[in-house]
Amino acid sequence: MILMIPFNAVLAAKMKKLQISQMKNKVREASCSDIQKKKIELVRTRLIQDRRTKLMDEILNGIKILKLYAWETSFEKKVVVKKKVVLALSFQPGSGIKLNITSRT
């Protein structure tokens, strides 16, 4: 029984080293996937912002036609929906994007 004490000590030290190396690998994998998730979320947010920007550009370029045919309310509803989507994505934890957008009430 006394002979097993050194054996257990060696075995415990070996297990400790293996656990440490395993945890380091898990941290690396987790950080890579977190970075990839953030990049995907950033690209997704930028695409949505780009769509809203194009819509705003279309509205500004066609303002004469909008006024002529009184389409302001229908386009305003579209813009408000796009703003809500962008704001919902922008204020998620870890997105790193902050917008200063005001809306008409």
Indicate the domain borders of the chain: 4-90
pLDDT of residue 90: 74
Q: What is the pTM of this model?
A: 0.36
Return the pLDDT at 9: 84
Which of 20, 23, 21 shows the shortest CA–CA distance to 31? Answer: 23
Inter-axis angle of helices 4-61 and 72-90, nearest 10: 160
Per-residue pLDDT at 28: 66
pLDDT in tens, the chain (105 residues): 677 788 788 888 888 888 888 887 776 666 667 777 788 888 888 888 888 888 888 878 887 777 777 777 888 888 889 888 888 877 766 555 555 555 554
- Tokens at residue 46, please? 């930028």
Report the distance separating Cα 66 and Cα 38, nearest Å.
Answer: 39
For CA atoms 101, 46, 67, 63, the dihedral sign is positive
Structure tokens at 39: 């990049």
